[in-house]
Amino acid sequence: MEMPTVPSSAAGSDNTMSMSMAMDMSGNSCKLSMLLNWSTIDTCYLTSSFHVHSTFQFVLVVLLCFLLPIALELLRRYQRTYDRYLRVKHRLRRQNDEVLDGSEEKLLGGQSLKSTAWTQSVVLEQALRGLLHMAQFGLSYCIMMMWMYSNGYILIAVLLGALCGFGMLTKDMLDVPIAEM
């Protein structure tokens, strides 16, 4: 059986390419792996400037990965609390509007100034809700990016942070009356 031969120009380019790849791997390079790994030193997270050079720095990264899911649950808790506040506020507003029965519009001959202020406050409330959602989305994305490094220590820290954050910050969900569900 005859082996196919590679033209010399193609073989030369492979050697050149492998040598240039080896030269790019200097002492300041990061160890990146998409497979499960336990590397602690010379790893980079999120950006090349977030380069871990020592064990202490890696411990700080693991601590950060533990705190990120807790911060995410804290944001979610704040979002739920703010939404409950808005529901109560809007319910009270509707009750007050029912009591007035449009008497202001009749007296003023048009739309009241309160309804204009109400519309502006609803826009601001929705803007704040949108900012909270944006912060949650960004934080979730950072957690996902840290997870994708497949470092065993990072994975364990994220899972433990999610467990602790959920356990500490979701007790408010148990207090919701059945009628609201």
Sign of the torsion angle spanned by Cα atoms 41, 43, 45, 50: positive
Q: Rounded to an integer, what is the distance from CA 107 to the centroid of its chain? A: 51
Could you tell me the pTM of the whole model? 0.72
Mean pLDDT of 28-49: 87
DSSP state of 34: S
Kindly tell me if the per-residue pLDDT of 172 is higher than 60. yes
Q: Which residues contact 152 (CB under 8 A, 6 or more apart)?
A: 36, 37, 38
Instruction: Say if CB 136 and CB 83 are below 8 A apart.
Output: no
- Residue 176, classed as helix, strand or coil, is coil
Of residues 96 and 80, more confidence is placed in 80
Of residues 16 and 144, more confidence is placed in 144
Kindly tell me if the per-residue pLDDT of 34 is higher than 50. yes
118-142 tens-digit pLDDT: 677 889 999 999 999 999 999 999 9
Band (pLDDT 50/70/90 cuts) for residue 174 is confident
pLDDT of residue 18: 43
pLDDT of residue 2: 54
pLDDT of residue 66: 99
54-68 tens-digit pLDDT: 999 999 999 999 999
Over pLDDT 70: what percentage of the chain? 70
pLDDT of residue 106: 60
pLDDT of residue 81: 95
Instruction: Say if CB 30 and CB 45 are below 8 A apart.
Output: no
Token pair of 77 as six digits: 């808790």
Kindly tell me if the per-residue pLDDT of 19 is higher than 80. no
Instruction: Say if CB 44 and CB 51 are below 8 A apart.
Output: yes
The full set of domain ranges for the chain reads 44-100+115-170
Mean pLDDT of 153-159: 98
The mean pLDDT of the chain is 81
Hey, which residues does 37 pair with through a beta bridge?
A: 151
